[in-house]
Structure 1
Amino acid sequence: MLAWLAGTSGQHPPVEVCAGNDLALAYDQLRQADLILDTSDKDTVGAGPFVLSAAGRVEASLAAVEYRAELARRGVLRWVLDDYRSLDGLESSDAGNDYTGPLTHREVVDAANELAMEHLLEGERRGDGEFFLVRATPRGQRALRGPAPIVGYQSPTATNNHHHRSTVTISGSQNQVAFGNSGSVDQRLKNVNNSTAIAPGFEKVAESIQYLLNRLDALALNDDDDQEVRDHAAVVVGEIVRDNPDRTTIKRAINSVRGVLAPISLGVAAAATAESTETARGLIEALTGLV
């Protein structure tokens, strides 16, 4: 619902988004969460037009990016499991299309790379890094049958008996963190590397924060937004090195970062470019489903 609302406002969603008999319930739930404005009319039975609130616009922007990413991931796996060995043709197929429009080549490539990183897909790559032969792993087949999102899928029978701790280097307070720097401590969080213990199970959070920091300059954020993202990243890292990280704190900080990135990912930010839009989308996907 929110993904659809990101592209429109003041309308009732079509039946492929929300069945007519569910509209009133969806309207009430979104109103209670303060994600839409109260447009109900006492003289009219049922839900009023769905008009996003300020908070709702942020959440809808994030939902739209996440929805497209999940559509691409599922589209790739469905395509491969239909006995196709190549991803050619997916973009113009039913598997790569729905009411939000057909998948782009970039979305297909990003989804395939992400699935490969999660060991849900494997294959052979061309010199440019794109797959020319692909196949779903057994884990990928199970993930497609499981709930969304696919990334972060854990097999019901999977167990993990490893308790080794990865490490990062940290100095300074939570808002003044230096990672891998020599000399004086920089006020801006820049790198996550290996020297102080990360709590077991939070290794991917550390990797995703490093990926964020590596790509941040490509977004050309203004100074305030850049500092805000780095501050939230510092909060995340400050938690994942604790013995018992607070998942709520981590999730809140990550969601705040995604909120800054959302307007850029949709191309509506003042300084957004094609490159920064794609970068922001990739970063939001990388920060999704971590905790």
Structure 2
Amino acid sequence: MANSGINRQGIAKLMRDLQREFDRQGPIRVPVHTSMPELPPLGSGTTVNNYNGPVFNGDVSGAQIAWGNDTVTQNQQHESTVTAGFEDLARFVTDLLRQLPEVGLSDEDREDAESAAQDVLTEITQPEPEPGRLRRAVTMLRGVLAPVANGVVAGAAEGAQEWAQTAISGLS
């Protein structure tokens, strides 16, 4: 799947800014006025279906749904073939993604790093990876990890600085 040009970081920033504004304003109240429609008389030939679960009218291929859960964890595995010559990078970035939550990055930085890593993996599974797009994604990933590698990130997990230095050198 090629990058659709969606600015994920811009959207995430917009969502944070909106949430901050909503938090500042307090509760939002919207007056609601309803009028009851007239129900058809019983036995008029009208069929009423009461569903006690999700109803899908259309294609749901690849969809995941959780219903009636307090908490849920879902995973999907998309099998993709890595373009020849990029296998080591794919393994490295996959390991990096797996270890990323343990580093101690802020939620925003972790999301940026995950997004950049996913962009790398998406690009190297294309039949002909675009070098510029791949280079930008790797640069973004190194940029997010640089403050950790330099010891600037407060609250980073023990050993995170050394891990980030190794990660950055592995992405070079």
Structure-1-length-normalised TM-score: 0.33
For residues 185-220 of structure 1, the C-alpha deviation after alignment (integer angstroms, 9 at most, x for no partner) is 9xxxxx9x7832211111112111111112101212
Partner of 2:108: 224
Matched, 1:199 2:107: no
Q: Could you tell me which of 248, 251, 256 is aligned with 2:140?
A: 256
- Please report how far the alpha carbon of residue 246 of structure 1 lies from its aligned counterpart in structure 2 after TM superposition: 0.7
Matching residue's letter, 1:197 = T
Question: Structure 1 unaligned runs (5+)?
Answer: 1-169, 177-181, 186-190
Q: Relative to 1, partners in 2 of residues 1:241 and 1:273: Cα closer, same or farther, differing over 3 Å? A: closer
The question of whether the paired residues in 1 share the 8 Å contact of 2:105 and 2:153 is answered with no
Where do 1:149-188 residues align within 5 Å? 184=64
The question of whether the paired residues in 2 share the 8 Å contact of 1:202 and 1:240 is answered with yes
Where do 1:1-291 residues align within 5 Å? 184=64, 195-288=79-172
Q: How many residues align?
A: 108
Larger RCO (alpha carbons 8 Å, 6+ apart): 2
For residues 119-166 of structure 1, the C-alpha deviation after alignment (integer angstroms, 9 at most, x for no partner) is xxxxxxxxxxxxxxxxxxxxxxxxxxxxxxxxxxxxxxxxxxxxxxxx
- Please report how far the alpha carbon of residue 271 of structure 1 lies from its aligned counterpart in structure 2 after TM superposition: 1.9
What's the Cα RMSD here?
3.1
Question: Structure 2 unaligned runs (5+)?
Answer: 9-61, 66-74
Higher strand share: 1
The question of whether the paired residues in 2 share the 8 Å contact of 1:215 and 1:279 is answered with no
Identity %: 31
Q: Which aligned runs of 4 or more in structure 1 are off by greater than 3 angstroms?
A: 173-176
2:159 alignment partner, SS class = helix
Matching residue's letter, 1:267 = G
- Please report how far the alpha carbon of residue 272 of structure 1 lies from its aligned counterpart in structure 2 after TM superposition: 2.8
Structure-2-length-normalised TM-score: 0.53
